[in-house]
Amino acid sequence: MTQCVQFYFDFISPYAYLGWHRARSELASNGITVEPVPALFAAMLNANETKGPAEIPAKRLYTWKHVIRLAAGLGHPIQPPPAHPFNPLLSLRVVTALDRLEDRISAVDALFAACWNRGEAIQERDEVVRALDQAGLPGDRWTEAAVNDEVKRRLRDTTAGAIERGVFGVPSFAADDEIFWGQDSVPHVAAYLQGEDPAAGAVERWANLPAGVQRRRGG
């Protein structure tokens, strides 16, 4: 089995922030390569005709409580950005534009830290530059590289490829052809890579269950 895991993420998600730290701590520290792959969460919602947590008032409030509790349990300080939802496109494009894995990891670290650790905006160009500069990274150069049409196309293609692969939310992890969703799936990724996935060979009956009823929508 592969010892490389793709981490599909969008900076808009606090769960992706927590999942990134968990992946770095529990996977990368054990020699597993964690490759950050930017993907636009809004496009996943559109593709599946679903709403995001922030679009359902009761779920929005619960989400904030949930991530505060999770962060406390994981020992990761968390602060909300100035506004949410926000437009994550430029930040996602910065990571997309970087060819070296080490640079992508550094950019993800810096932008997640700015947004969810310090509670800063990472939507406008000057905000993204500042977040990168504060981490000792070349903010002007990296944001300039992110605003060309080729990078925009690459992010669209990467997002479309994620959806085609079966990614429906962030964060998601891909190991071989197996998709794991959510920050709490990191231990499941590790078990899979060790050949200890309890779902292996046991899910066929579940996957082939017929639908007993269909929910009426609207009206």
- Residue 51 tokens read as 């709403």
pLDDT for residue 2 is more than 70: no
For the entire predicted model, the pTM comes to 0.95
Identify whether 214 is part of a domain.
no
In tens, the pLDDT along 94-137 reads 999 999 999 999 999 999 999 999 999 999 999 999 999 999 99
Phi and psi at residue 34, to the nearest 5° = -110, 110
- Specify the DSSP class assigned to residue 53: G
- In the predicted model, what is the mean pLDDT of residues 189-203? 93
- Structural domain contains residue 153: yes
190 domain-assigned: yes
**Full domain range(s) for residue 148:** 4-203
Q: What CATH code is carried by the domain that includes residue 8? A: 3.40.30.10
Please report the sign of the dihedral spanned by the C-alpha atoms of residue 16, residue 18, residue 21, residue 23.
negative
The model's pLDDT over 65-89, given as tens digits with 9 standing for 90+, comes to 999 999 999 999 999 999 999 999 9
Peptide bond before 171: cis, by omega within 30 degrees of 0? yes
Residue 101 lies in a domain: yes
- Domain contains 213: no
Residue 1 has pLDDT above 80, yes or no: no
In a domain, 22, yes or no: yes
CB 14 within 8 A of CB 78: yes
Pairing, β 4-9 against β 172-175: antiparallel
| Count of structural domains within the chain | 1
User: What tokens appear for 171 in the block?
Assistant: 């964060």
Find all residues with CB under 8 Å of 72, minimum gap 6, and list them.
Answer: none
Q: Is residue 211 part of a domain?
A: no
At 150 the pLDDT is 97
Question: Would you say residue 218 lies in a domain?
Answer: no
